[in-house]
């Protein structure tokens, strides 16, 4: 977040004893709260993570079986993808979250932030025999040539399944995985970038699914216009940071305890 007012407020908590990466925790907590508000979550079954070291192997992630609407900054776990004893420790993460997010952070240093949800329209798209998202408007064009489709769902994302998914994310340009028969995995450089992408992917998937429901022929953008639009939005200045800052400001005005 770049907003001076919100950052000043949250920076005052950065000296809190015995808890590292405070501002990143606050941003993740805000993303959890807003994801629940938009009904993009799946009870207590989805997970977000954020790398906090240079190699990406140490990361923050939500605690096991915690509802997004209640997660606070101080609740968030700090994990090491290279620690084989993680699941045997007290307060261990959900095994499927560890399998998927641990594998991605271990294999993909460019994936600084990882958000996985079973949001309704993204999951409908992932359930189609052809999960391609055609460029039919600005939001769908945002993702043109910037996603990968996983067509080999292998059950719950324990470690072997997580490793398989992570292996398909080696191209830094592909920041979305449409997880066939499962949901969506979003990558980004930080919380703001990743949440913004998650938000717009769900909007794009909804537009496409609702367009299909009309039964009428789609007006699909040309390759040239779709790529031009995607490239312009790749470099659109400041939107993701402002989006998250505004959400934090709303939560602050409401007296939310997310930043505690």
Q: Which pLDDT belongs to residue 162?
A: 82
pTM, rounded to two decimals: 0.91
How does strand 113-117 pair with strand 183-188?
A: antiparallel
Q: Longest Cα pair distance anywhere in the chain, in angstroms?
A: 59
Beta bridge partners of 148: 177
State how far the Cα of 255 lies from the Cα of 96, in Å rounded to an integer.
Answer: 33
Question: Quick one: which of 36, 115, 25 has its CA closest to 76?
Answer: 25
- Classify 185 as helix, strand or coil: strand
CB 87, CB 98: distance < 8 Å = yes
How many residues appear in the chain? 260
State how far the Cα of 4 lies from the Cα of 22, in Å rounded to an integer.
Answer: 16
Beta bridge partners of 114: 49, 187
SS (H, E, C) 41-61: CCCCCCEEEEECCCCCCEEEE
Q: Which pLDDT belongs to residue 9?
A: 47
Q: Which pLDDT belongs to residue 13?
A: 44
Q: Which pLDDT belongs to residue 17?
A: 45
* pLDDT tens series, the chain, 260 aa: 444 444 444 543 444 545 899 999 999 999 999 999 999 999 999 999 999 999 999 999 999 999 999 999 999 999 999 999 999 999 999 999 999 999 999 999 999 999 999 999 999 999 999 999 999 999 999 999 999 999 888 666 567 788 889 999 999 999 999 999 999 999 999 999 999 999 999 999 999 999 999 999 999 999 999 999 999 999 888 999 999 999 999 999 999 999 99
Distances (CA, A) of 34 to 84, 87, 134, 196: 32, 28, 27, 11
Q: Which pLDDT belongs to residue 18?
A: 54
State how far the Cα of 194 lies from the Cα of 201, in Å rounded to an integer.
Answer: 10
Q: Which fold does the domain 4-253 belong to in CATH? A: L-fuculose-1-phosphate Aldolase (3.40.225)
CB 57, CB 106: distance < 8 Å = yes
The whole-angstrom distance between residue 108's C-alpha and the CA centroid of its chain comes to 15
Beta bridge partners of 186: 115, 176
CA dihedral 174, 178, 183, 186 (to 10 degrees): 10
H helices of the chain, in order, are 4-11, 22-37, 95-97, 103-107, 120-127, 138-142, 159-167, 191-213, 223-234, 239-253
Q: Render pLDDT for 61-87 as a digit per residue (tens, 0 to 9).
A: 999 999 999 999 999 999 999 999 999
The CA-CA-CA angle for residues 151, 154, 158, to 5°, reads 130
Q: Where are the domains of the chain?
A: 4-253
């Amino acid at each position: 977040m770049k907003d001076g007012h919100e950052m000043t407020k949250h920076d005052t908590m950065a000296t809190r004893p015995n808890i590292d990466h405070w501002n990143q925790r606050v941003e993740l907590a805000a993303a959890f709260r807003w994801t629940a508000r938009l009904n993009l979550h799946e009870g207590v079954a989805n997970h977000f993570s954020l790398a906090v070291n240079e190699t990406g192997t140490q990361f923050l992630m939500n605690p096991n079986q915690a509802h997004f609407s209640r997660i606070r900054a101080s609740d968030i776990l700090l994990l090491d993808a290279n620690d084989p004893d993680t699941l045997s420790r007290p307060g261990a993460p959900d095994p499927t979250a560890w399998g998927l997010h641990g594998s991605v952070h271990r294999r993909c240093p460019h994936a600084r932030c990882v958000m996985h949800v079973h949001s309704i329209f993204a999951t409908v798209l992932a359930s189609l025999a052809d999960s391609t998202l055609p460029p039919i408007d600005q939001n769908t064009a945002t993702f043109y040539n910037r996603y990968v489709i996983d067509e080999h769902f292998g059950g719950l994302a324990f470690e072997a399944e997580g490793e398989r998914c992570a292996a398909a994310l080696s191209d830094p340009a592909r920041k979305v995985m449409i997880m066939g028969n499962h949901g969506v995995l979003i990558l980004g450089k930080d919380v703001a970038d990743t949440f913004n992408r998650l938000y717009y992917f769900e909007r794009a998937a909804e537009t496409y699914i609702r367009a299909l429901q009309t039964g009428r022929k789609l007006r699909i953008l040309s390759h040239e216009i779709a790529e031009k639009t995607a490239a312009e939005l790749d470099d659109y200045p400041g939107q993701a940071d402002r989006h998250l800052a505004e959400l934090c400001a709303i939560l602050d005005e409401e007296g939310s305890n997310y930043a505690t």
